[in-house]
Amino acid sequence: MREHGISEAKRRLMHYLKVEGPCTVGRIAKALGMTGAAIRQHLAALEAGERVASEPIPPKGRGRPSSVWSVTENAAAMFPDRHGELTVGLIEAVREAFGADGLEKVVKSRAAEQIREYRKMLPSANESLKKRVEALARRRSAEGYMAEAVREKPGVYLLIEHHCPICDAAEACIGLCSAELDVFQRAMGPDVEIERTSHLLSGGDRCVYRIRSRK
């Protein structure tokens, strides 16, 4: 996977850390045939992007304290990821083994679990709609959807999802997307009305849900 804005030198550095684990600047410089100053410069840029992090190590004797560097979870996008391919394969296997009805049962079971989990973390109906939509956005962001809650007008909020981490799976099984609207509705409760106004898989550049109070 090629990520825009990452030089080949930084990519080599990241690959080395991924393979070798935590390393000092000196070790990285020797392995890559670069100067310590150049490595520090690359590490500083990667650290600013939260792709690497340092951890101090105790000095030996009276020497100066040193640090080891390692990749962070935020660096995952720089390395090959076949989760989408695996998920699509599993969906096709379920469809082949149990038919369309069996796959639908799996989707419904997943949706039911989502509803239970969302109800646990959402504020009660006594809280403002703003707080409830913001809580849902935080949960969706934690799941990788890059979600935000935006006030459209008094009493009406938009849940905007800028990314779909299950896009490949949703294309293979449209029921996953169809179930999400029902999940939100049942998790939020009968006192709110939710409609999807933009859909990534229907040509939109993001998924948007309009949420308003029925009161």
Domain CATH for 136: 3.30.1380.20
Angle between helices 175-188 and 83-121 (to 10 degrees): 10
Q: Count of domains in the chain?
A: 2
Q: Give this prediction's pTM.
A: 0.61
Over residues 55-77, the mean pLDDT reads: 78
Distance CA 185, CA 202 (A): 20
pLDDT, averaged across the chain: 87
Query: Is residue 43 domain-shared with residue 96, that is, in the same domain?
Result: no
Query: Is residue 133 domain-shared with residue 185, that is, in the same domain?
Result: yes
Distance CA 161, CA 117 (A): 19
Query: Is residue 94 domain-shared with residue 192, that is, in the same domain?
Result: yes
Query: Is residue 167 domain-shared with residue 65, that is, in the same domain?
Result: no
Query: Is residue 45 domain-shared with residue 103, that is, in the same domain?
Result: no
Q: Which residue, of 32, 58, 78, is where some domain finishes?
A: 78
- C-alpha neighbours within 13 Å on the C-beta side of residue 42: 23
Distance CA 43, CA 54 (A): 9
Distance CA 175, CA 107 (A): 7
Residues 157-214: tens digit of each pLDDT: 999 998 887 777 777 787 788 888 999 999 999 999 999 999 887 888 789 999 999 8
- Considering the domain boundaries, does residue 112 fall inside one? yes
Q: Which residue, of 52, 78, 104, is where some domain finishes?
A: 78
* Residues in CB range of 18: below 8 A, 6 or more apart: 71, 75, 79
Query: Is residue 39 domain-shared with residue 114, that is, in the same domain?
Result: no
Q: At residue 81, does pLDDT exceed 80?
A: no
- Considering the domain boundaries, does residue 1 fall inside one? no
Q: At residue 107, does pLDDT exceed 60?
A: yes
Over residues 52-59, the mean pLDDT reads: 85
Query: Is residue 103 domain-shared with residue 172, that is, in the same domain?
Result: yes
Structural domain span for residue 200: 83-213
What is the per-residue pLDDT for 148?
Answer: 93
Going by C-alpha positions, the residue among 16, 9, 111, 135 that lies closest to residue 70 is: 16
Residues 14-55: tens digit of each pLDDT: 889 988 889 999 999 999 999 999 999 999 999 998 889 999
What is the per-residue pLDDT for 83?
Answer: 66
